[in-house]
Structure 1
Amino acid sequence: MTLGLLVFHLLGFVLPALAMAVFMPWAGRWVMGSSSKSIRHRMWVHALIGIGVLVLGLWLHGQDGKMSTYIALVLVAATVEWLMQRAWINR
């Protein structure tokens, strides 16, 4: 495998996590309002947590692209956004 193909495969593996990392802070701001954390900070947190979920799914299932891993990615991203927004506190 060439270096270009390796980079292409790795990018394809982490792309769902990176897309969620860009989407979730804006969706959280739209649904729950502004947060004390910056959008950039929340994107970094989502990217790291999302890549961790994908790696864990790869390790558990032995292959990537399982729907259960993507469902876990969405649920974890929503939970992390809810925690960063501190949505349980009435404003």
Structure 2
Amino acid sequence: MDFIVFFWHLLNFFAPAAFLALALGLGAWLLRIPRRLPWWTGVGLNFVLGCSVLGAGLVLTGSDGKLVTYVALVLAMGSGQWLLTPGGEPTIEK
């Protein structure tokens, strides 16, 4: 496998974590949900968490793209976003 093919495989492996982190961060910003950190910091933290979950899923299942890994990804990143809200409770400002 040459470098270009490896690069695209790596990019596609981390794409679900990047998309979900960006969707969670921008969604919280658009809905004006109070947060402890700026939205871009939340995106970065969620991306690192998502990459860790995807890596653990690859090691534990022996293959990437398993449904159980994506379920764990959504649960972990949703919980991470919830922990970034003050008091751990997502509330919408009025």
Check whether TM > 0.5.
yes
The count of aligned residue pairs is: 91
Q: In 1, Cα distance between the equivalents of 2:30 and 2:47?
A: 19
1:33 is displaced (CA, Å) by 1.3
Q: In 1, Cα distance between the equivalents of 2:57 and 2:65?
A: 9
Q: In 2, Cα distance between the equivalents of 1:89 and 1:30?
A: 13
TM-score of the aligned structures, taking structure 1 as reference length: 0.89
Aligned positions of 1:1-91 closer than 5 A: 1-30=1-30, 33-86=33-86, 87-88=88-89
CA gap 1:89/1:64 in 2 versus in 1, 3 angstroms:
closer
Are the equivalent residues in 2 in contact too, given 1:28–1:85 (CA < 8 A)? no
Are the equivalent residues in 2 in contact too, given 1:36–1:85 (CA < 8 A)? yes
**TM-align CA RMSD:** 2.0
1:89 is displaced (CA, Å) by 8.5
Q: Which range moves more in the overlay, 41-50 or 25-34?
A: 25-34
Q: Which range moves more in the overlay, 70-79 or 81-90?
A: 81-90
Question: Counterpart amino acid of 1:85?
Answer: T
Identity %: 29
TM-score of the aligned structures, taking structure 2 as reference length: 0.86
Which residues of structure 1 form unaligned runs of 5+?
none
Q: In 2, Cα distance between the equivalents of 1:71 and 1:14?
A: 15
